Structure 1
């Protein structure tokens, strides 16, 4: 009898968790990725990976058809938003359970998403579409500064910035249109009202709200996640209101199969939807599992292979995580204290993503995090105290780069290329 295989398109922040969940469920995971280096890295970890152009649907169909001669392919999925619509098309082609590709494509276009949410009466910030600097300037004038300027398509806060005055607006417009931002399609930008208030992430599987996380960002003008608390310290009414709006989003966007995460700001007019993501957010599954005992990734894999899931909460703990964010650019001389932090009672995980002599160039998005700490306990005050104690044990030194522009540019290229080596 052929081995039951799960196909994963590309690797992402939650990708390893999908691989591990598949193995626990007795499946053989196979990753299809466009980057040979990514395939080599997975292979070095004992995982099967095949290089394929994941932007080419026909090439993916051919590769999956080839694999079916050896394996019983029982499911296809991905942790990466940019290929999730392709997952839906592959599932339809091979008659496997999967998301609606058209719904995913509409949702991943933030302008179309905003239009559909607005039409359904879902509370969202004021917004305008812009394709050039003139559009950006006029849209900001109509909405009123400050505004958020971001790409219509993208994730991980890449290219997203709060523009508090006309100078910041012009600077970020130049950044987006001047060749520094990598566009997956023709440049389109969203100019959006800055909704003020606490930030929340609602985690949904199917039509069930599994957990809500409160999140804080690092210093503006960027939106880099700094700290998260799960479950969010909300009243029952707050949970209910946010849950009801979330379900309205699913109906408006024709979602409701598999995972969704919805970001909110709680403003003076109540919960306002910032964006809907048809996937699990990076880091959220781990928080949900620690807080409630629900393994969202394993339950998603069960759905993908046509099984029954179980979203029952097994316990109720308070979990908090903190990202380790640098306050300036330069070369990381050293970072230490992670071992002592990990040894503290209540600390679940300490992970460092950087090593000594690594160039640190802040990008204003998810890449800025040098690592994280996660703590848990039965109550919020104790969890926050444990987390702070652990973070205080971790220290580092960053020597600013020389003022030579060429040196700084070279380090930026290293960071964007994903190279861990130091610049010289």
Structure 2
């Protein structure tokens, strides 16, 4: 009898890829990863799971590979942890008559401008926005909306290329960065210019049409939006929770979603909940771990069950509080050393300590998810106790970074070389 297998299209360098592989194996499935470059994912070798090199931007190539694999395996599901291939996953599921997301809905959702249009048409509260294709349009759009504004690529994820601009010069600077060849565009360059909705940041964790819970999240210092940490469930009143949940479900209806995982980022502005972004996927690490620690619901496993046609269970097993802190360097340079993770992991109530980087690695901050060098997660029955545990653990972790040589120093000619190495090193972890 052929072994039941789960196809994973691409993986994740620092996110949920490993969680999907491990969950599939716990369910008795053979995880098979299809990737343009499987060597990017270190965990594939560590987990002794199968990985096949195939151009994941080529739908026909993926169909051929999946058809070939069906000769040896019982392919019971196809899914992914990545947003940029999730529409392709939906098309593959339709081709092979497997449960999956609606690819058209996913494509519309992943284009932030189209997403904004659909939400606005449905009356969902969102920031004022404009779409711009060049510097002149960006400048005029910002003038219409009023400073400060957010500039972001119309297509992308992980806060890549997203920046808060408070002045005209900052707008010009970031526009030059986005359109000047430094930013990698997955499609034609289009910039979304948005009103800066200020207020508490929340993330609705959704599976199907059910709001599992809401995370309270915070960022590091502006102008970029690098997550600093989160608390799950968010300390909200019943009324506040209900308002965020209602707005979130209205997003699903407006965008034709409601199958599988969705996470919706919301700011509680003066006018109440304002939708910043709808992401048709599980949130990245450490959000799934926090949900599992707090409620006993393994979102990754339940997503796989849905993708394989098995019944899922979203019932809470318990009600605790989980909190996470993202470790982010405060400067560029060479990491001399980093330690304390073992001591931090030994603190009672700490659930996980993960470091994504090793000594002697060059660091060049990007202002997005790639700046994360590790995280700590803690849990307990109460919010105050959880926060105290987390802070105690984080205080035990320290590191040292030697800045790159500055211009004019003897080694200045090495600086561009080191920066290039850093880009590669952080991008492949």
1:377 and 1:264 map into 2 onto residues whose CA distance is: 26
Aligned to 1:190: 192
Q: 1:295 aligns with which of 285, 295, 298?
A: 298
Q: 2:417 aligns with which of 410, 414, 420?
A: 410
Q: 1:38 aligns with which of 27, 37, 40?
A: 40
CA drift of 1:336 comes to: 1.1
For residues 141 and 287 of structure 1, do their structure 2 counterparts lie closer, same or farther at Cα, with a shift above 3 Å needed?
same
**Contact conserved, 2:362 with 2:425, CA < 8 A, in 1?**
no
Aligned to 2:165: 163
1:267 and 1:50 map into 2 onto residues whose CA distance is: 46
Q: 1:228 aligns with which of 227, 230, 237?
A: 230
CA drift of 1:417 comes to: 2.0
Q: Secondary structure at the match of 2:244?
A: helix
2:160 and 2:318 map into 1 onto residues whose CA distance is: 35
Aligned to 1:274: 276
2:265 and 2:19 map into 1 onto residues whose CA distance is: 22
Q: 2:72 aligns with which of 53, 58, 70?
A: 70
Q: 1:97 aligns with which of 96, 99, 105?
A: 99
Pairing 1:13-412 to 2, within 5 Å after superposition: 13-38=15-40, 42-283=44-285, 284-404=287-407, 406-412=413-419
Q: Secondary structure at the match of 1:246?
A: helix
Q: Secondary structure at the match of 1:141?
A: helix
In the superposition, the TM-score normalised over structure 2's length comes to 0.96
CA drift of 1:406 comes to: 4.5
Q: Which deviates more, 327-336 or 51-60?
A: 327-336
**Contact conserved, 1:5 with 1:30, CA < 8 A, in 2?**
yes
2:246 and 2:115 map into 1 onto residues whose CA distance is: 18
For residues 39 and 357 of structure 1, do their structure 2 counterparts lie closer, same or farther at Cα, with a shift above 3 Å needed?
closer
For residues 187 and 49 of structure 1, do their structure 2 counterparts lie closer, same or farther at Cα, with a shift above 3 Å needed?
same
Once the two structures are superposed, residues 372-420 of structure 1 have per-residue CA deviations (whole angstroms, 9 ceiling, x without a partner) of 1111111111111111111111111111110146533323322332369
Query: What is the number of equivalent residue pairs in this alignment?
Result: 421
CA RMSD of aligned residues (A): 1.3
2:144 and 2:204 map into 1 onto residues whose CA distance is: 30
2:57 and 2:357 map into 1 onto residues whose CA distance is: 30
1:98 and 1:304 map into 2 onto residues whose CA distance is: 6
For residues 341 and 36 of structure 1, do their structure 2 counterparts lie closer, same or farther at Cα, with a shift above 3 Å needed?
closer
**Contact conserved, 1:7 with 1:29, CA < 8 A, in 2?**
yes
**Contact conserved, 2:21 with 2:31, CA < 8 A, in 1?**
yes
**Contact conserved, 1:39 with 1:51, CA < 8 A, in 2?**
no
Divergent runs of 4+, >6 A: none
Q: Secondary structure at the match of 1:116?
A: helix
Aligned to 2:6: 6
1:40 and 1:145 map into 2 onto residues whose CA distance is: 43
**Contact conserved, 1:22 with 1:298, CA < 8 A, in 2?**
yes
Once the two structures are superposed, residues 236-280 of structure 1 have per-residue CA deviations (whole angstroms, 9 ceiling, x without a partner) of 001100000111000000000000000000011000000000000
Once the two structures are superposed, residues 36-91 of structure 1 have per-residue CA deviations (whole angstroms, 9 ceiling, x without a partner) of 42367623530100000000000000000000000010000000000000000000
2:205 and 2:176 map into 1 onto residues whose CA distance is: 35
CA drift of 1:360 comes to: 1.4
**Contact conserved, 1:349 with 1:374, CA < 8 A, in 2?**
yes
Q: Secondary structure at the match of 1:266?
A: strand
CA drift of 1:327 comes to: 1.1
CA drift of 1:349 comes to: 0.9
Q: Secondary structure at the match of 2:342?
A: helix
2:414 and 2:95 map into 1 onto residues whose CA distance is: 49
